[in-house]
C-alpha cells in the first residue's frame, strides 16, 4: 500500500500541497484531478521522491519513500514515473527503448514482453523504427510501454494521453488501464480528462489549491457533485437555487416551472446542449434538436436522468 500521511510541501514561501493524506492499495487506480496549479504534478513528484516533503511522510509497504536529501539518485526500483517530457533514447528503436530495463539474460522472455507491450500501445508495426522518427503521440505511447515493461508495483502518470490524438486515445486508454489492472500495478494518474476517470478509476482525488477537496469513487462524486469544481470536471452544469444540476438533468416540459430564454445551441453529436437564461442566471439543458434563439421555454429538473 502507498501511504501519504499529513504531507505538506512548499515552493519557497508558497504552499503547494497542504496536510494531504491518502492511501492507494496494490492494483488500485487513483485519479488526481483539479484545475491547473492545484498541485497534481507536484504530488506525483513528491510520491516519486523528486522533492522532499516539508512535513508528513510518504511510504510504500511501510518503507519510507526517500527524497533528494536522503537519496542521491531520484526514484525507486518499485516505482516508475512518466512525466509530460519523455525519457527516451531517440537514436534507438521503439523495441530497444521498451526493453531498456529488461534483462538480456532471458532473450526469449524479453522479446515476448516487448511484443506484448507493442500490442498494448498499438505500435506493432513500429518495433524497428527509431524513436526520433515518431510523432509526439507515438513517443508518449513508447514512454508508457517502457515504464511498465519491468512490471513496477506503482506507476505515476502525468497527463498520459495529452499528446495522443482522439483516433487512438480511446482504444489506448482501454488497453493501458486493463493491462495495469491485470498485472496488479497501482496507478496514480494526474489528468484533466474525465474519460480517463469515469470508466476506469477506483478512486478519485479532487485537489483545490493543494488541498484535498474530496476523495471517493468517481461514480459517487459524479452522481452527487457537492462542489461546482467537481461538476465542471464532469460536464456542463448550472446552479439553481443553490443546487448543482447537470445539463442532462434538465429538460423541456410544458409543465415546467422554470421559464428561460434560449441564447445559444451547441451541437454535441447525439444531441444539442442549449444555453438559456432564467432570472439572470445561465442554465444548460440537453435537447434532441436545436431551438430557436430568443424563444421562451419551460424547463423542469429530473434528477433521475
CATH number of the CATH domain containing 111: 3.40.50.300
What is the total count of domains within the chain?
2
Whether 28 is in a domain gets the answer yes
CATH number, domain containing residue 267 = 2.40.50.140
Whether 180 and 261 share a structural domain: no
pTM of the predicted model as reported, rounded to 2 decimal places: 0.91
Last residue of a domain, one of 223, 257, 276: 223
Whether 11 and 123 share a structural domain: yes
Pick from 88, 90, 86, 89: nearest CA to 132: 90
Q: What is the pLDDT of residues 94-118, one digit of tens each?
A: 999 999 989 889 899 999 999 999 9
Bridge partners of 223, per DSSP, are none
The grid coordinates listed for 43 are: 504530488
| Interacting residues of 232 by C-beta distance below 8 A, sequence separation 6+ | none
Please tell me the distance from the alpha carbon of residue 289 to that of residue 267, in angstroms, as a whole number: 9
Q: What is the mean pLDDT of residues 30-55?
A: 94
Are 31 and 203 a contacting pair, CB within 8 Å? yes
Q: What is the pLDDT of residues 233-247, one digit of tens each?
A: 999 999 998 899 999
Whether 205 and 242 share a structural domain: no
| Interacting residues of 247 by C-beta distance below 8 A, sequence separation 6+ | 235, 236, 237, 238, 273, 284, 285, 286
Last residue of a domain, one of 168, 195, 223: 223
Whether 195 and 241 share a structural domain: no
Are 251 and 285 a contacting pair, CB within 8 Å? yes
The DSSP result for 251-290, as a single string, is: EE-TT-SEEEEEEEEEE-SSSEEEEEEETTEEEEEEESS-
Whether 168 and 201 share a structural domain: yes
Does pLDDT of 270 surpass 90?
A: yes
Range of the domain at 133: 2-223
Whether 231 is in a domain gets the answer no
Write down the pLDDT at residue 73. 86
Q: What is the pLDDT of residues 179-233, one digit of tens each?
A: 999 999 999 999 999 999 999 999 999 999 999 999 999 999 999 999 999 999 9
The grid coordinates listed for 148 are: 511498465
Write down the pLDDT at residue 303. 76
Does pLDDT of 166 surpass 90?
A: no
Residue 116 sits at φ, ψ, to 5 deg, of -60, -45
Q: Mean pLDDT across the chain, nearest whole number?
A: 93
Cα–Cα distances in angstroms (integers) from residue 175 to residues 14, 91, 100, 122, 129, in the given order: 39, 27, 22, 9, 22
Look at the block and give the residue holding cell 505515476: 156
Write down the pLDDT at residue 75. 83
Write down the pLDDT at residue 165. 87
Last residue of a domain, one of 223, 254, 276: 223
Write down the pLDDT at residue 77. 85
Are 131 and 98 a contacting pair, CB within 8 Å? no
Whether 158 is in a domain gets the answer yes
Write down the pLDDT at residue 87. 82
| Interacting residues of 115 by C-beta distance below 8 A, sequence separation 6+ | 124, 127
Whether 6 and 129 share a structural domain: yes
Pick from 161, 181, 182, 185: nearest CA to 173: 161
pLDDT band at 14 (very low <50, low <70, confident <90, very high): confident
The grid coordinates listed for 156 are: 505515476
Q: What is the pLDDT of residues 176-194, one digit of tens each?
A: 999 999 999 999 999 999 9
Q: What is the mean pLDDT of residues 120-138?
A: 95
| Interacting residues of 75 by C-beta distance below 8 A, sequence separation 6+ | 48, 49, 50, 81
Please tell me the distance from the alpha carbon of residue 105 to that of residue 117, in angstroms, as a whole number: 19
Write down the pLDDT at residue 71. 86
Whether 255 and 151 share a structural domain: no
Write down the pLDDT at residue 305. 62
Whether 39 and 133 share a structural domain: yes
Write down the pLDDT at residue 26. 94
Whether 228 is in a domain gets the answer no
Whether 241 and 210 share a structural domain: no
Please tell me the distance from the alpha carbon of residue 96 to that of residue 171, in angstroms, as a whole number: 24
Amino acid at each position: 500500500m502507498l501511504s501519504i500521511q499529513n504531507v505538506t510541501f512548499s515552493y519557497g514561501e508558497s504552499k503547494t500541497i497542504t496536510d494531504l493524506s491518502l492511501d492507494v492499495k496494490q492494483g488500485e487506480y487513483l485519479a488526481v484531478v483539479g484545475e491547473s496549479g492545484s498541485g497534481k504534478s507536484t504530488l506525483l513528484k513528491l510520491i516519486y521522491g523528486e522533492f522532499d516533503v516539508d512535513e508528513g511522510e510518504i511510504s510504500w509497504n511501510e518503507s519510507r519513500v526517500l527524497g533528494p536529501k536522503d537519496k542521491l539518485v531520484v526514484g525507486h526500483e518499485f516505482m516508475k514515473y512518466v512525466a509530460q517530457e519523455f525519457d527516451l533514447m531517440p537514436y534507438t528503436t521503439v523495441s530497444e527503448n521498451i526493453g531498456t530495463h529488461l534483462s538480456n539474460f532471458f532473450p526469449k522472455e524479453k522479446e515476448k514482453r516487448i511484443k506484448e507491450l507493442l500490442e498494448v500501445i498499438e505500435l506493432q508495426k513500429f518495433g524497428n523504427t527509431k524513436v526520433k522518427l515518431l510523432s509526439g503521440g507515438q513517443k508518449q505511447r513508447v514512454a508508457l510501454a517502457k515504464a511498465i515493461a519491468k512490471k513496477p508495483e506503482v506507476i505515476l502518470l502525468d497527463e498520459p494521453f495529452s499528446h495522443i490524438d482522439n483516433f487512438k486515445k480511446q482504444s489506448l486508454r482501454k488497453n493501458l488501464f486493463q493491462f495495469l489492472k491485470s498485472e496488479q500495478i497501482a496507478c496514480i494518474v494526474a489528468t484533466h480528462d474525465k474519460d480517463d476517470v469515469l470508466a476506469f478509476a477506483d478512486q478519485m482525488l479532487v485537489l483545490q489549491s493543494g488541498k484535498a477537496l474530496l476523495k471517493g469513487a468517481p461514480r459517487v462524486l459524479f452522481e452527487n457533485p457537492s462542489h461546482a469544481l467537481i461538476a465542471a470536471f464532469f460536464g456542463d452544469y448550472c446552479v439553481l437555487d443553490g443546487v448543482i444540476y447537470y445539463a442532462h438533468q434538465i429538460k423541456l416540459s410544458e409543465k415546467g416551472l422554470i421559464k428561460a430564454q434560449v441564447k445559444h445551441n451547441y451541437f454535441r453529436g447525439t444531441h444539442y446542449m442549449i444555453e438559456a437564461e432564467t432570472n439572470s442566471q445561465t442554465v444548460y439543458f440537453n435537447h434532441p434538436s436545436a431551438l430557436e434563439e430568443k424563444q421562451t421555454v419551460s424547463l423542469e429538473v429530473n434528477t433521475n436522468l
